[in-house]
């Protein structure tokens, strides 16, 4: 492969000049960055590369913060639940929290800003019936109801930035100061943040790109009294709360938020919760604030002639890259961590920025780069997984993080990344910003829609959860599939209908969650629009507990479309004779196909003999299809990510839209391989997603089949209308 250069960012560090030069050469890097804990010395900054410098807006300035402790960031927390044994109840509300991270806000009137709730009744306890003992951090309830459960929702000040806290504790930084997060909503903090940036830009003339890590509010991350993680929500707005924010919200929206609107039964409005009106209002309020303030900072960066890049993580809350206010920030770039295809698309699809960058795995940290370990394995896994998504919508740049000095000691790794960077540049050039061929347009329907594009089913960014992997696989599969993917909310289809270009709708998730939709399915506008859509030829794919809420004798409200419903125990009296799998079916035409539905589902039954049962196991339909007018409904119990399941999903997409004859246009029969076509570039690529050599029949868009052989991991680029030769 020809040696190319550019589009690659490297970490560097002091005392490492020559090696940095060599690595820049090998990997064709054109940008250098510092990391959390490293600084670039002048000699390295002088190299022929763009210089990225990490910048923290709202932490790392304790000299300021300590003088303005009333401007600390705040959180609403819920105490543990305490069952009353008599009418007197004491709640040590700080129990289980980490005193080094948070401390109760006794500055503001507790009676006004806190809430004591009888959780057994779901009722607020009158403020006259409780007192706070500030010495002991205890709320004392009088006139309690014996054997009811009580909680306190209380305000705290956050006195330690969660990311620094995590690094500090993990790396045992000892007496290194705890960085105090301050709130730019407060006057002094905001003035300080601006002034400091102006000054900093002057003092860092060699910085080309200010890498904001990030802006103002960290995702919710709360530790317990053992200094271990207690609560983590990568999407959580917990740390955006403050008395000032609540007051300004009330002024603007004309109603007051209750603590419970934030605390939400202790769920804290997890992204899995169907969002309340209040919480959506609050998010919008915060997004507008963050966009406005961040925009002012970016203006300063631009005035200083530099570029502004945002790290997608840590203090990213309120930026919502797919939200309506994000473009107003005026960023040049976004950089984020790439765990696989879906997280790559989460970055590469972000609208309104000039370029995107992905930080690939592994980090150059001693947990991977130690003698005897082969870091190539993780790199290869990460690259192959993410590369599928690259073929659909490439990032503009790739990069790495950590200590380059460590990585250098692994020559095989250096060789491998050299191949990766060249392969990346080649695919980027070949695709050339063009739109790849998409056989279908797929809409993912959930409560969040576009706002959280590619972010469904995540708790902590890209971590595996037993309750989510069977759904997250849908996103991962689609991230590299030859289809157009859009994200739709119930609100959007309620108001604007299903967009005309949608061929297939997918609704996936556990009952009651924001991804399945919960009470949204009681809305006849949603139901009738989808039924009409399918009736006229659209596809509807339900995964897990789609359209699920128990009402009117149905659990799946779209059971008529899906052809299946789930037994909750109320209709066991009804005989169900339809368990026979269809002997042949389009959804099981792969060779040696083995189904894997992840956690699967129990108690799903076919409504009638009309339902085409493709897989029936564990006493339940796991995969089925159902004709509905000119379209089809398809049920899948779960779809963990695999190449085989990616192919199954593709089959489901085409079958549901009754366009299965169109599947084999740009197509590889062997499911380890995929074909991506770029008509505007007159090119197509046959990709081997596996490490093993593969042979496959492919179809070239005009329907011509041909057999090709690919080395492990190979991408074969060919001109459209030319013969393939190996």
Q: State yes or no: cis peptide before 157, omega within 30 of 0.
A: no
- Binding region for its own copies (CB under 8 A) out of 80-88, 124-132, 190-198, 652-660: 80-88
Nearer of residues 54 and 315 to its own copies, judged by Cβ = 315
Q: Please list the alpha-helical segments (H only) found in 131-211.
A: 162-170, 187-203
Q: Which residues have a Cβ under 8 Å from the Cβ of 116 and sit 6 or more positions away? A: 91, 124, 125, 127, 129, 130, 139, 141, 150, 151, 152, 153
Nearer of residues 144 and 402 to its own copies, judged by Cβ = 144
Q: Is 230 in the site for its own copies (CB under 8 A)?
A: yes
Nearer of residues 371 and 552 to its own copies, judged by Cβ = 552
> From the CB of 270, what's the least distance to its own copies, in Å?
5
> From the CB of 117, what's the least distance to its own copies, in Å?
8
**Which residues ranging from 269 to 298 are in contact with its own copies (CB under 8 A)?**
270, 272-273
**Which residues ranging from 587 to 626 are in contact with its own copies (CB under 8 A)?**
599, 602-603, 619
- Binding region for its own copies (CB under 8 A) out of 146-154, 158-166, 484-492, 711-719: 146-154
Q: Which of 323, 324, 327 has the alpha carbon at shortest distance from 354? A: 327
Q: Which helix (H) or strand (E) holds 684?
A: strand 683-688
- Binding region for its own copies (CB under 8 A) out of 79-87, 391-399, 427-435, 585-593: 79-87
Nearer of residues 80 and 643 to its own copies, judged by Cβ = 80
> From the CB of 528, what's the least distance to its own copies, in Å?
4
For strands 554-556 and 612-617, give the pairing.
unpaired
How far is residue 469 from each of residues 337, 412, 473, 541, 642, measured CA to CA in Å?
19, 32, 6, 17, 11
**Contact criterion met (CB below 8 Å) for 65 and 57:** no
CB neighbourhood size of 334 (10 A): 27
Catalytic residue, candidates 314, 349, 565, 700? 314
> From the CB of 557, what's the least distance to its own copies, in Å?
8
Q: Is 220 in the site for its own copies (CB under 8 A)?
A: yes
Nearer of residues 69 and 572 to its own copies, judged by Cβ = 572
DSSP labels, 383-442: HHHHHHHHHHS--SEEE--B-HHHHTT-HHHHHHHHHHHHHHHHHHHHHTTPPPP-S-EE
Q: Is 113 in the site for its own copies (CB under 8 A)?
A: no
Provide the mask over 450-469, with x wherever binding to its own copies is found by CB under 8 A and - wherever it is not: ---------xx----xxxx-
What interhelical angle do 376-392 and 411-431 show, nearest 10? 0
Q: Is 228 in the site for its own copies (CB under 8 A)?
A: yes
Place of tokens 């929500």: 233
Q: Is 122 in the site for its own copies (CB under 8 A)?
A: yes
Q: Is 551 in the site for its own copies (CB under 8 A)?
A: yes
Q: Which residues have a Cβ under 8 Å from the Cβ of 667 and sit 6 or more positions away? A: 675, 698, 699
**Contact criterion met (CB below 8 Å) for 214 and 313:** yes
Task: Fill in the DSSP letter of residue 97.
Answer: B
Query: Which residue in 527, 582, 697, 724 binds its own copies (CB under 8 A)?
Result: 527
Give the count of alpha carbons within 13 A of 552, CB side only. 10
Q: Is 579 in the site for its own copies (CB under 8 A)?
A: no
Q: Is 120 in the site for its own copies (CB under 8 A)?
A: yes
> From the CB of 85, what's the least distance to its own copies, in Å?
7
Q: Give the distance, in angstroms, between the CA of residue 667 and the centroid of all CA atoms in the same chain.
A: 29
Q: Is 512 in the site for its own copies (CB under 8 A)?
A: yes
Q: Is 564 in the site for its own copies (CB under 8 A)?
A: no
Residues near its own copies, by CB under 8 A: 81, 83, 85, 119-122, 145-149, 220, 224, 228-233, 236, 265-268, 270, 272-273, 459-460, 465-468, 509-513, 524, 527-528, 531-532, 535, 550-554, 560, 567-575, 577, 599, 602-603, 619, 629
Q: Which residues are catalytic?
A: 314
């Amino acid at each position: 492969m020809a040696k190319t250069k550019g589009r690659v960012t490297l970490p560097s560090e002091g005392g490492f000049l020559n090696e940095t030069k060599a690595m820049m050469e090998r990997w064709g890097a054109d940008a250098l960055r510092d990391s959390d804990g490293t600084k670039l010395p002048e000699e390295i900054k002088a190299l022929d590369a763009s210089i990225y410098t990490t910048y923290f807006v709202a932490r790392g300035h304790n000299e300021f913060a300590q003088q303005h402790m009333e401007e600390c960031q705040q959180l609403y927390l819920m105490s543990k639940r305490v069952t009353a044994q008599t009418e007197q109840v004491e709640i040590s509300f700080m129990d289980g929290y980490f005193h080094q991270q948070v401390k109760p806000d006794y500055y503001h009137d507790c009676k006004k800003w806190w809430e004591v709730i009888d959780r057994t009744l779901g009722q607020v306890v009158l403020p006259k019936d409780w007192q706070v003992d500030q010495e002991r951090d205890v709320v004392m309830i009088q006139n309690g109801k014996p054997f009811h459960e009580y909680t306190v929702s209380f305000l705290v000040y956050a006195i330690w930035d969660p990311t620094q806290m995590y690094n500090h504790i993990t790396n045992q930084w000892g007496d290194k100061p705890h960085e105090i997060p301050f709130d730019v909503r407060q006057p002094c903090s905001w003035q300080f943040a601006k002034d400091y940036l102006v000054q900093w830009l002057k003092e860092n003339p060699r910085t080309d790109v200010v890498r904001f890590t990030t802006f103002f509010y960290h995702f919710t991350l709360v530790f317990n009294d053992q200094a271990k993680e207690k609560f983590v929500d990568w999407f959580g707005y917990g740390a955006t709360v403050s008395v000032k924010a609540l007051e300004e919200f009330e002024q603007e929206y004309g109603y007051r938020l209750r603590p419970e609107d934030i605390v939400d039964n202790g769920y804290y409005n997890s992204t899995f919760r169907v969002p309340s009106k209040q919480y959506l209002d609050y998010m919008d309020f915060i997004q507008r604030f963050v966009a406005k303030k961040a925009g002012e900072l970016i203006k300063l960066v631009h005035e200083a002639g530099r570029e502004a890049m945002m790290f997608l993580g840590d203090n990213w809350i309120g930026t919502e890259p797919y939200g309506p206010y994000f473009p107003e920030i005026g960023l040049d770039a976004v950089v984020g961590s790439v765990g696989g295809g879906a997280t790559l698309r989460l970055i590469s699809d972000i609208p309104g920025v000039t370029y995107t960058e992905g930080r690939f795995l592994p980090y150059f940290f001693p947990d991977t780069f130690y003698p005897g370990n082969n870091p190539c394995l993780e790199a290869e896994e990460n690259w192959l997984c993410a590369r599928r998504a690259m073929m659909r919508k490439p990032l503009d740049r790739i990069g790495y993080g950590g200590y380059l000095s460590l990585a250098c000691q692994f020559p095989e790794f250096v060789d491998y990344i050299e191949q990766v960077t060249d392969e990346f540049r080649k695919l980027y050039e070949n695709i050339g910003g063009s739109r790849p061929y998409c056989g279908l347009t797929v809409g993912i329907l959930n409560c969040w829609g576009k706002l959280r594009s590619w972010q469904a089913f995540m708790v902590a960014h890209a971590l595996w959860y037993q309750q989510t992997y069977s759904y997250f696989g849908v996103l991962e599969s689609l991230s590299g599939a030859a289809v157009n993917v859009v994200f739709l909310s119930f609100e959007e289809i309620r108001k604007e209908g299903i967009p005309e270009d949608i061929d297939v709708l997918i609704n996936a998730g556990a009952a009651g969650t924001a991804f399945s939709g919960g009470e949204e399915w009681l809305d006849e506008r949603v139901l009738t629009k989808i039924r009409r859509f399918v009736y006229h030829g659209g596809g509807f794919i339900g995964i897990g507990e789609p359209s699920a809420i128990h009402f009117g004798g149905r659990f799946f409200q779209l059971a008529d479309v899906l052809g299946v419903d789930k037994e909750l125990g109320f209709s066991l009296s009804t005989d169900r004779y339809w368990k026979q799998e269809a002997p042949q079916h389009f959804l099981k035409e792969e060779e040696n196909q083995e189904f894997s539905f992840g956690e699967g589902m129990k108690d799903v039954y076919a409504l009638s003999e009309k339902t085409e049962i493709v897989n029936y196991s564990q006493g339940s339909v796991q995969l089925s299809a159902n004709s509905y007018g000119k379209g089809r409904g398809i049920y899948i119990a779960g779809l963990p990510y695999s190449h085989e399941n990616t192919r199954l999903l593709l089959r489901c997409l085409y079958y549901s839209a009754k366009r299965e004859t169109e599947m084999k246009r740009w197509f590889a029969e062997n499911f380890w391989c995929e074909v991506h076509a770029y008509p505007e570039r007159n090119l197509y690529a046959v990709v081997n997603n596996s490490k093993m050599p593969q042979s496959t029949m492919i179809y070239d868009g005009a329907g011509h089949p041909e057999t090709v052989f690919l080395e492990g991991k190979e991408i074969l680029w060919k001109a459209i209308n030319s013969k393939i030769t190996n």
